[in-house]
Structure 1
Amino acid sequence: MSTESKPPFPPFTRETAQQKVKTAQAAWNSKNPEFVQFAYTPDSIWRNRDTFLQGREQIVDFLTKKWAKEKEYRLRKELFAFTDDKIAVQFWYEWRDEAGQWWRTYGLEDWTFAPNGLMRKRQMSGNDVKIGEADRWFQDGVDVDSVDISEKHW
């Protein structure tokens, strides 16, 4: 039996759910699949758009390919809702493709946690929108949490 754990643990409060969201945001912004995988149970299941994964090896492979394609990736996650062992997140991220086109991806995630605080299920739905360089929200050197999303045009 694994002794891995990742506090805070369910059941979540608003404060601990918010902590999980911002910890995930920081981990994903590291763009380090080997690091990110340890937030998930060894047998974690994912749906990422039309891709279905199970286990850390598949998570690492998926994230490695994702971040090789999505250059200058910058992500923001916000708590949407929570229950005892579930958290819903809204997110936005920007990235540039190999041709230099900028994109913003909008979406929602549904997370379910094991008692040890590791995520055992992740479901993601997202949409990609082409943007111009001048339309970017997350400029170099700007903390993603300092950008006032409420003032942005949807």
Structure 2
Amino acid sequence: MSLTPPFTKEGAEAKVKKAQDLWNTQDPKKISAAYTPACIWRNRDVFFTGTAAIEEFLTKKWEKEKNYRLRKELFAFTDNKIAVQFWYEYQDAHDGMKWKRCYGLEDWTFADDGRMRKRQMSANDVEIRPSERWFSGNVDVNSVLIGEKHW
């Protein structure tokens, strides 16, 4: 199974889970290596280009988003593109450490070597009570049943 384009269903699913696991490391340098040097990003309302900007963005992200846990699922794919649905939970260090869940979609375009050359993300955050968390403790994020009302 290949993690480079053109993608098969199995390859696209594996690529999504590899990205999930990489992001859950919260290591901006490690994560930025998965993108081309001129990768184009849109993250919500922020636009930027390049791995140095990606590292800076992710560093700031995790200064705010504490106890971050992410789940990504394949939504659709073509030869060199993958669409992803995701959910993550975090405590907002800029908002009294309230628990929040982010619901979002991403579209990814890949270079021939398998690194991402474009990433666009749209998402919304919802405040949740600690008792509403899905990804608490040592739970495997892949084992959590996420019902249709959250898709």
* TM-score computed with the length of structure 1 as normaliser: 0.93
- Cα separation, 1, equivalents of 2:81 and 2:65: 28
Say whether 1:108 aligns with 2:92: no
- Cα separation, 2, equivalents of 1:107 and 1:89: 8
* TM-score computed with the length of structure 2 as normaliser: 0.95
Aligned residue among 39, 42, 45 for 1:44: 39
Partner of 1:130: 127
* Identity over aligned pairs, percent: 62
- Report how many residues are paired: 147
Partner of 1:23: 18
Aligned residue among 45, 51, 59 for 1:64: 59
Describe the superposition over 1:37-94 as per-residue Cα deviations: whole angstroms up to 9, x where unpaired: 0110011000000000100000000000001100000000000000000000000000
Aligned residue among 107, 113, 118 for 2:115: 118
- The 3-state SS of whatever aligns with 2:136 is coil
Structure 1 outlier segments of 4+, above 3 Å? none
- Cα separation, 2, equivalents of 1:20 and 1:58: 23
Shift of 1:150: 2.2
Partner of 1:35: 30
- Cα separation, 2, equivalents of 1:63 and 1:132: 25
Describe the superposition over 1:78-125 as per-residue Cα deviations: whole angstroms up to 9, x where unpaired: 000000000000000000012120000000000000011000000000
- Cα separation, 2, equivalents of 1:127 and 1:44: 23
Aligned partner letter, 1:126: A
Q: CA RMSD in A?
A: 1.0
- Cα separation, 1, equivalents of 2:28 and 2:48: 14
Say whether 1:85 aligns with 2:80: yes
Describe the superposition over 1:103-154 as per-residue Cα deviations: whole angstroms up to 9, x where unpaired: 0000000000001100000000000000000000001111100111127x54
- The 3-state SS of whatever aligns with 2:97 is coil
